[in-house]
Amino acid sequence: MPEKSNAELPPLPYDYDALEPHLSEQVLTWHHDTHHQGYVNGLNSAEETLAENRESGDHGTTPGALENVTHNGCGHYLHTLFWENMSPDGGGEPSGELADRIEEDFGSYEGWKDEFEAAASAAGGWALLVYDPVAKQLRNLKVDRHDLHALWGAHPILAIDVWEHSYYYDYGPDRGSFIDAFFEVVNWEKAEEEYQKSVGHFES
C-alpha cells in the first residue's frame, strides 16, 4: 500500500499583491497563510486521531474527528480551487465549451450570473458553480460553512468564498462590491479546465 501523505497548503498561484486593487495583499496573506493553513492542519489532525483510534480500538473521539475531516477537508479543497479561480490576468466572460454549456443549462450567461450572485449574496460560506454528474448539467449551489447544502457527487468548477474573512477588511459589510471585484479577476480558464475534467469523466 502506498504511504499516505499529509495534506499540504499549496502556494498561492500568484504573488500576494497580484490581485490588487480588487483583493488586498493583506487579505490574501491572512486568508491563505492563516485561514487556509488552519483547514490543512485541522484535516491532518483529524486524520491522526482516526489513525490512533483504529489502532487502539477506542472510538470515543471518532465521530468528532469524522466531522472535522468533512469541515476541514471541504475548507481545504474549496480554498485551493478559489485561489486558482482568480488571476491577475482574469476577468471577462467564459468562452468555448463552458460558455456554450452555461447558455444551455442556464439560458444565458447573464441568467447564470444573476443566480450565482444571488447565491453569493446570501450564502454563509460559498457560492459554487458545479457540474452535477447525475443530472449531467451545471448547477449553482449556495453553501453554508464549507459543506452545508452540498450536493453529493457534484464537482465544483468555480468557487467564491463569502465568509467575512474573505472581504470584510477590504469592503466592510459591502459584500456586493467584493462579488463585483471577484468578477474583475475571475479565471475562466481554470473553470473551463475543471469543467472539461468532470465532463470528460462522466459524459464520455
CB 65, min distance to Mn ion, A: 22
Q: Which residue is nearest to Mn ion (CB)?
A: 161
Q: C-alpha grid cell for residue 182?
A: 471577484
CB 53, min distance to Mn ion, A: 29
Rounded CA-CA distance 56/67 in Å is 20
Q: Which stretch binds Mn ion (CB under 5 A): 11-19, 27-35, 109-117, 141-149?
A: 27-35
Q: Is 170 in the site for Mn ion (CB under 5 A)?
A: no
Hey, what's the torsion of the CAs at 37, 39, 40, 44, to 10 degrees?
Answer: 140
Q: C-alpha grid cell for residue 124?
A: 454563509
Q: C-alpha grid cell for residue 160?
A: 467564491
Residue (114 or 174) nearer to Mn ion, CB:
174
Residue (34 or 95) nearer to Mn ion, CB:
34
CB 75, min distance to Mn ion, A: 7
Query: Applying CB under 5 A, what is the total number of residues that bind Mn ion?
Result: 3
CB 194, min distance to Mn ion, A: 19
Binding mask 128-167 toward Mn ion (x if CB under 5 A, else -) reads ---------------------------------x-x----
Tell whether omega for the bond before 10 is within 30 degrees of 0, i.e. cis: no
Residue (30 or 202) nearer to Mn ion, CB:
30
Instruction: Please spell the DSSP secondary structure of 110-157, one letter per residue.
Output: HHHHHHHHHHHHH-SEEEEEEEETTTTEEEEEEEETTTBT--TT-EEE
CB 82, min distance to Mn ion, A: 7
CB 164, min distance to Mn ion, A: 9
Q: Which stretch binds Mn ion (CB under 5 A): 33-41, 86-94, 107-115, 126-134?
A: 33-41
Rounded CA-CA distance 2/174 in Å is 48
- Residues 22/28, Cβ–Cβ less than 8 Å: no
Q: Which stretch binds Mn ion (CB under 5 A): 35-43, 121-129, 149-157, 180-188?
A: 35-43
- Residues 158/62, Cβ–Cβ less than 8 Å: no
Cα first-last separation, the chain:
30
Q: Which residues form the interface with Mn ion (CB under 5 A)? A: 35, 161, 163
